Amino acid sequence: MAIQLMQNNTAQHMSFIAPAKLNLFLHINGRRPDGYHELETLFVFLDYGDILNFEVTDSKKITLVDEVCDVKPEDNLIIKAALALQKATGCTFGANISLEKVLPMGGGVGGGSSDAATTLLILNLLWQTNLSLEQLCEIGIKLGADVPVFINGVAAIAQGIGEKLKPIDLEEKWYLVVHPNVHISTAKIFGHPDLPRNTPKLKDDWKQSKISNDCEELVKKYYPEVDQTLQWLLKYAPSKMTGTGACCFASFETQAQAQSVLEALPNCWQGFIAKSAMVSPLHKQISTEKK
């Protein structure tokens, strides 16, 4: 199916992935006067995520057909992203958007940010607003620090508040991601007085440096389920927490290795396996469907 742009007032129905991400490390270098944090983190994508369905309409109205539980429509990043694109471009088209939610909320795998980025990228195409990736990132950073990396679509080390991206190429691996069924507020963790905020910026090759997730110890203190998950995964491979949690992960060389550990997962937790991707699965999908 090739991408069809809005023509002759005909609505287009399109489905696109909003992929997950993992933070392979997350350092907090300081806090700015405006309250934002200076970060240094390594993002990789996973070939797994939410699915967004788009129907372009003549009306300027933005409708989210499937509302997300416990999130008011006016607070939903999908709607915010669509409205922000309309405002920035003066577009008079609208959209009906439905969401097949797969990624856990408050899980640290970028679900909300990825949904917002997918909305910006796809409506920019379908509405023919023709903004560059840089211009979309300027809109996206106001929605969330993780949105620009999803818009750019390449694995990267992010600095600043998430807007400074340095592409990076890594060997792709299979990841087992485990969600211990707790919801963690990013704002709560970043606002906590005990959060470390003075990790020096990396000067040399990050592979030769001591890396960690500066949020992990604080999260484990207040959410023992995360600590339990990390300890369980540690029996099979080095374990880490992504973002501000709650998801934890471990990497494996083969899908079979990851699958065998997933099959041993305690029933009280949820998990999935996915291969990492240096180019966003969404960008691959867009490139394929443009042909």
- The pLDDT tens digits for 232-243 are 999 999 999 999
**pLDDT value, residue 204:** 74
Question: Which one of 50, 115, 146, 214 is the catalytic residue?
Answer: 146
Answer whether the bond into residue 246 is a cis peptide, omega within 30°. Answer: yes
- Look at the alpha carbons of 174, 215, 137, 51 in this order and tell me if their dihedral is positive or negative: positive
What are the domain boundaries of the chain? Answer: 13-168, 174-277
Q: Is 142 a catalytic residue?
A: no
User: Alpha-carbon distance 170 to 188, whole Å?
Assistant: 32
Q: 257 vs 107, 143, 176, 252, 277, CA distance in Å?
A: 23, 37, 9, 6, 18
Fold of 174-277: Alpha-Beta Plaits (3.30.70)
User: Alpha-carbon distance 158 to 124, whole Å?
Assistant: 24
User: Alpha-carbon distance 29 to 199, whole Å?
Assistant: 5
Tokens of 121: 């990228």
**pLDDT value, residue 80:** 97
User: Alpha-carbon distance 36 to 53, whole Å?
Assistant: 33
**pLDDT value, residue 109:** 97
pLDDT tens, residue by residue, 31-87 = 999 888 999 999 999 999 999 999 999 999 999 987 666 677 778 999 999 999 999
Q: What mean pLDDT do residues 110-137 have? A: 97
The letter for the amino acid at 112 is G
Q: Is 169 a catalytic residue?
A: no
Fold of 13-168: Ribosomal Protein S5; domain 2 (3.30.230)
**pLDDT value, residue 6:** 43
